[in-house]
Amino acid sequence: MDYKIIIGDCLYSMQSLPDQSVQTCVTSPPYFGLRNYGNDQQIGLEQTPDEFVNKLVDVFREVRRVLKNDGTLWLNLGDSYCGVNGYARASEKFQRKGRNDAPANNRSLSALHKANIKTKDLIGIPWRVAFALQADGWYLRQDIIWSKPNPMPEPVKDRCTKSHEYIFLLSKSPKYYYDHEAIKEDCSESNIQDFMKRKTLNNKGKGLGTYEEARPDLARSRADYMPSDLKRNKRSVWEVTPKPYSGAHFAVYPPELIEPCILAATKKGDTVLDPFGGSGTTAGVALKHKRKAILCELNPEYASIVDDRIKDIFHDINQYNLLDILED
- Determine the structural domain holding residue 203 and report its residue range: 186-231
Which long-range contacts link 208-217 to residues 24+ away (Cβ below 8 Å)?
Answer: none
Does residue 203 sit in the same domain as residue 300? no
The model's pLDDT over 209-235, given as tens digits with 9 standing for 90+, comes to 555 555 555 444 544 545 556 788 999
pLDDT at 112: 83
Reported as a pLDDT band with limits 50, 70 and 90, residue 39 is low
Q: What average pLDDT does this structure show over 33-47?
A: 71
Does residue 107 sit in the same domain as residue 155? yes
Q: How many domains does the chain have?
A: 2
Last residue of a domain, one of 231, 264, 287: 231
Does residue 46 sit in the same domain as residue 193? no
Does residue 238 sit in the same domain as residue 113? yes
Residues 99 and 300: their CA atoms lie apart, in Å, by 14
Residue 61 pLDDT exceeds 70 = yes
**Cα dihedral angle (313, 318, 320, 321), rounded to 10 degrees?**
130
Residues 162 and 170: their CA atoms lie apart, in Å, by 24
Residue 169 belongs to a domain with what CATH number? 3.40.50.150
The model's pLDDT over 272-320, given as tens digits with 9 standing for 90+, comes to 999 998 878 999 999 999 999 999 988 887 777 777 777 777 664 445 5
Q: What average pLDDT does this structure show over 178-205?
A: 70
Residue 328 pLDDT exceeds 70 = no
Does residue 109 sit in the same domain as residue 97? yes
Does residue 198 sit in the same domain as residue 267? no
Q: What average pLDDT does this structure show over 62-80?
A: 96
Kindly list the distances between the CA atom of residue 207 and the CA atoms of 203, 212, 216, 274, in Å, as whole numbers in the listed order.
10, 13, 15, 52
Does residue 201 sit in the same domain as residue 280? no
Binning the chain into helix, strand and coil, the percentages to the nearest 5 are 30, 25, 45
Reported as a pLDDT band with limits 50, 70 and 90, residue 73 is very high
- Supply the pTM of this predicted model: 0.81
Residues 81 and 90: their CA atoms lie apart, in Å, by 6
Last residue of a domain, one of 196, 231, 266: 231
Does residue 147 sit in the same domain as residue 225? no
Residues 302 and 230: their CA atoms lie apart, in Å, by 42
Does residue 75 sit in the same domain as residue 146? yes
Does residue 267 sit in the same domain as residue 222? no
**For the residues of 170-228, what is the DSSP string, one character each?**
EESSSS----GGGG-EEPPHHHHHHHHHSEEE-TTS-EEEEHHHH-TT--S-GGGGS-T
Residues 24 and 28: their CA atoms lie apart, in Å, by 14
Does residue 173 sit in the same domain as residue 291? yes
Region of 290 (left: φ > 0; alpha: ψ -120 to 50; beta: rest) is left
Pairing outcome for strands 231-232 and 185-186: antiparallel
Does residue 140 sit in the same domain as residue 218? no
